[in-house]
Structure 1
């Protein structure tokens, strides 16, 4: 195929290519199309959803016209710069402005690294509307005769053989959600058997009936799940981390009773009214104070130039477990945030990541990460350092345990902190001093006042 600019007019046929979606991302997986051949598209209308290692991104059309050809199929990995769709520009509606080199301007919401990110006050998330019962009265009227649905809902519907036209949506603007698709599955309908990717035909899995309860269960003792999207890219990043970063870890167990008492007190104050104040927010504030004292922890390794890059700003990553896999959105310029700001921003960022709304901007450029395994009841963990960073802090569960306090045995709130670090940049002494500082701030949180 001849290489040409995305908006070069060849008989009024315009070609849109996958744009640069963020730092180091060379490709993306096409999740779903929002348009089909013959549909009319308008300028900035969403035409497709793609999934990168960072997030699911909706692509707006940079021009208007009639769809002539779709050049990729859902599930296909598309390289940045590869053609996605061809449109006949036969409408009077203007297309996106061209840059000086004749190519389409960078689309809003994503672009090459180095763009300026302005902080804005994010809205407090609201509870999602409860799913409504599905209806077979008729198709959902959305857009150009197509049912609007989230990427996850489209994928699940395809697996189950559900026609989205006949599923009532409970999401924003009537979009069909995963919950809507699940509610639309008849009780007697079995799950579809995935088709093998190697082209072979998979025999149906026989069912075994329990003579006592009459419950059917698959006879197969194994299940294979294709790896794609976030899970695939996370796996690649973690393998790269383990292979290229010489990692070491150290731990400390502390009495954090004073921190728990402080949180209990702050929750009753007007300043934190309406906010969910968690220990993670106080840990984050302690980490930021310690990073200011030990900036060598907030660094990255430049392999090409064999240099350590110390960063005098903190984009604080918060690891979030989602249905799509592990995501690490980060708070930009977190060193400037108060405890109240951190409380609000961490809650918003985690909710956005879980709902699939995190953008590439939210997920790239982190400088230091906190992971909280304590929410799963785990006492400690040894996380892998995120590529591009120097260290990651792990917060374990906070439990009441026997503890020697003022030379007497008492029941205290206790937790374990751990840090994994890149030994090329950080030696054991620096990592231990940093971890001890964080621990000391959580043991006596009032000392944070002298560091803010």
Structure 2
């Protein structure tokens, strides 16, 4: 019996995922719930368990491809199975192979080839749910998208260019065809008397139609596909920047006393194994300040016409990873003592860099901290994590001359930068919040007064 496993709905409204790596190969025997592959969504790297026990007959996607929810991933041959569909070559689907090797055909013929190569939709009762769900019904025709993606439209070729009227498929080498697809150039408009189209002609046509497009043809240009975490983070930041009216405020403070406290804690044998740093102390100060100005942790609900004010703090920590920026959050950070909060932050930062944070840890945050000081940056205007009303940037700590007790002395100084949603928070509230955070970092003993 032949069974097909399709990419399930991984939750959070995600419509696709990037295949990171296969953990099985064609011909392997797998057991029920054995991990088949790792896929990366906008949220995290997720392991896909097998919904069947049997033999892997075919893998439908390659590492690095983006696969839509509901698209085929693996074909299994179960015990007592039937003959499998003919294998496809490495170039993609049967339809892709046919289209690449045959003359140009009418779109109806191509549609017939695609229909013949794809399985009929399964009845709803036959679907087997895995992970969060199985994906949208009626998507059985979806196939893995191969990168680089073909542009949706072709660039117009200057009217002075000779055009073939023979109706035959234009001749060119595979690299030239690939370049033409990348630059959006229609080879049929460049073919003359059956002669192969050259790379120079494609580059010239692209430059004439859209001068900026020719940059991609320069062999010195490095290409970085926009996908995975970076793709979705970029989309989220654009939504945030053009939805919430951002405002920012700053304060520069003397944090020498905080560093003295942290130094004393690091030498306390009772705290061996715990790493309490400036980020942890700042996180504690933020939790205390949010208790006094809770609107910095609120959300603007446009549809309901309400401001949602939480009575808790799910504290987001922005983490730079090889895959892009992620913001896991510490649940109920407001209820944690400093040592527990430091441990929780260390754990989620490690998980984020390893790609093992769960979707639950990446959603539901109420306020975010980003530590730009680790990069030697003094401050900035951070963009709000979508849905949140406040984000604090912790700048680099620098030893510099500073007024202290009526004299000039070398002190440890840092800048705090706060961005906030001006629909939810007005300037006075933002200033009170930032003053409270600064007060704790300037004089850690003030934390006793904020309860």
- Tell me the TM-score normalized by structure 1: 0.68
**Which residue number in structure 2 is paired with residue 303 of structure 1?**
302
Is 1:46 aligned to residue 35 of structure 2? yes
Rg comparison, structure with higher value: 2
**Counterparts of 1:366 and 1:283, CA distance in 2:** 17
**Counterparts of 1:254 and 1:83, CA distance in 2:** 56
Aligned pairs, number: 336
Structure 2: give runs of 5+ residues left out of the alignment.
82-123, 135-146, 148-177, 184-197, 201-217
Q: Aligned to 2:20, which of 24, 31, 41?
A: 31
Is 1:377 aligned to residue 359 of structure 2? no
Q: Deviations over 1:9-58 (max 9, x none)?
A: xxx43333323323232321222222233322111111111111111111
Task: Say which is worse superposed, 240-249 or 31-40, in terms of deviation.
Answer: 31-40
**Counterparts of 2:368 and 2:450, CA distance in 1:** 20
**Which residue number in structure 2 is paired with residue 15 of structure 1?**
4
**Which residue number in structure 1 is paired with residue 239 of structure 2?**
240
**Counterparts of 2:34 and 2:431, CA distance in 1:** 52
**Which residue number in structure 2 is paired with residue 424 of structure 1?**
423
Kept in 2, the 8 Å contact 1:22–1:361? The answer is no
> Displacement, 1:434?
0.7
Is 1:55 aligned to residue 74 of structure 2? no
- Pairing of 1:288-299 with structure 2 (within 5 A): 288-299=287-298
Q: 1:403 to 1:74 in 2, by over 3 A?
A: same
> Displacement, 1:445?
0.7
**Which residue number in structure 2 is paired with residue 8 of structure 1?**
none
**Counterparts of 1:268 and 1:17, CA distance in 2:** 54
> Displacement, 1:105?
5.2
What secondary structure is seen at the aligned counterpart in 1 of 2:221?
A: coil
Kept in 2, the 8 Å contact 1:64–1:91? The answer is no
Q: 1:451 to 1:197 in 2, by over 3 A?
A: farther
> Displacement, 1:317?
0.9
**Counterparts of 1:386 and 1:342, CA distance in 2:** 21
Kept in 2, the 8 Å contact 1:21–1:360? The answer is no
Kept in 2, the 8 Å contact 1:65–1:90? The answer is yes
**Counterparts of 1:418 and 1:373, CA distance in 2:** 10
Structure 1: give runs of 5+ residues left out of the alignment.
1-11, 93-99, 113-154, 156-194, 204-218
Structure with bigger helix share is: 2
**Which residue number in structure 1 is paired with residue 163 of structure 2?**
none
**Counterparts of 2:179 and 2:259, CA distance in 1:** 52
- Tell me the TM-score normalized by structure 2: 0.69
Q: Deviations over 1:171-202 (max 9, x none)?
A: xxxxxxxxxxxxxxxxxxxxxxxx76935898
**Counterparts of 2:268 and 2:128, CA distance in 1:** 51
**Counterparts of 1:294 and 1:61, CA distance in 2:** 48
